[in-house]
Amino acid sequence: MLTDFCTEKPKSAIMIPIYRPYLTGVETEYVQACLQSTWISSRGEFIDKFETGFANFIGANFATSVCNGTVALHLALLAVGICPGDEVIVPTLTYVASANMISHAGATPVFVDSLDDDWQVDPQAIERAITPKTKAVMVVHLYGGACDLDAIAKLCKAHGLLLIADCAEAFGTRYHGVSVGVLADVATYSFFGNKTITTGEGGMVVSNCADVIKRARHLKGQAVSPTETQEYWHDMLGFNYRMTNICAALGLAQLEHAEAILEKKRHIAAWYDRYLNGLPVRRQALSPGTDHSWWLYSMRVSKELRDSLRKYLRVAGIETRSVFPPVHTFPHYALDINCPIAADISEGGISLPSYPDLTEEDIFTISSKIEEFFSSAKSDHKLDLALP
């Protein structure tokens, strides 16, 4: 249970957002240098520096930057050859972009359920979903955790399937000591404003295969032909998915402090574990061999209480997030399939403030309010406080 952390009254009137970026001042310095260079669009020194630095940080051979994490997924799918008629297996418990980009590539997303403890995609559900049309498996390393990549990679190898990784929420996540993004044929990252490192809007496609990144670079720049015999010659249907030099300047500054950011988030998770201990909540579990990056500290409560808890915290000035709804239930899919674990996690799931500048006192304040809520609910004698 909670113990007194400080003698002062918790500052619950202060708004504690779910997330805000960690900015050190280097971002301003690099953006000013970018502006002074006049290279503010999709060319300039910061593009190359950010791509090289990012690849080195996660241990990938190659990386190419893009304008957001959603187009990174689209580009990755096309770069490995996903096309109309293909099926791509994907967890239904994910952000909608994972599935939508499969559809935009002309393929069919095949939704599967997740595991009850770590919320990651269920390898056995993947195996049951494989058909002759299956071309790839897209894993989503949810909320900073990691999927069971040993089991999933074994399945992909046995069935000749591509492995695609959506690492939008998993910057800094490692599986048996290796960054999750390098354990797939191609992987993508997001640098939206609420991500562990941010460029405001931005993304990255990474791979250890030179040909995959070569195709991604070609497609993201309107498929301009490398031939020098004719200007503005485009040899296939391409896109403008490029990152700006200004965004790359932000990213490079963020990357230089990435280890410090990840360390701060590990402290935040440990503080939550300490102060929420004994309350009727169940935190997202760590898969064996996983170094969780704690993008968002997420937990489950009784589904009957989840929305009431969120409202109680909101009144106290504390912002939270619900867990993603199962994507297969959205109107543009509306599939009659059974994914009960994903549904349960979604209905009872809640993410707590997780930004790097949070202090231990902040976490104590948040946890105290959660304890107050459950104490009040228990006194009603009508609400189920059992662990979800």
The CATH label, of 3.30.70.260, 3.40.47.10, 3.40.640.10, 3.40.50.300, for the domain at 26-255 is 3.40.640.10
In the predicted structure, residue 386 carries a pLDDT above the cut 50: yes
Task: Tell me the mean pLDDT in the region 344-373.
Answer: 98
Binned at pLDDT 50, 70 and 90, residue 227 comes out as: confident
Beta strands in 274-370 (DSSP E): 282-283, 290-291, 297-300, 321-322, 349-352
> pLDDT for 84-134, tens place per residue?
999 999 999 999 999 999 999 999 999 999 999 999 999 999 999 999 999
Q: Where are the domains of the chain?
A: 26-255, 259-380
Write down the pTM of the prediction: 0.93
Element (H, E) at 209: none
CATH classification code of 259-380: 3.90.1150.10
Task: Tell me the mean pLDDT in the region 201-230.
Answer: 92
Helices first, then strands: H and E counts in the chain: 12, 14
Task: Tell me the mean pLDDT in the region 361-366.
Answer: 97
Binned at pLDDT 50, 70 and 90, residue 229 comes out as: confident
Q: Are 183 and 211 in contact (CB under 8 A)?
A: no
Closest CA to 78 of 66, 95, 94: 66
Q: Mean pLDDT in the chain?
A: 94
> pLDDT for 294-347, tens place per residue?
999 999 999 999 999 999 999 999 999 999 999 999 999 999 999 999 999 999
In the predicted structure, residue 287 carries a pLDDT above the cut 90: no
- Comparison of pLDDT for 4 and 213, the residue scoring more: 213
In the predicted structure, residue 13 carries a pLDDT above the cut 60: no
Q: Report the pLDDT value the prediction gives residue 14, as an integer from 0 to 100.
A: 59
Closest CA to 203 of 174, 239, 236, 166: 166
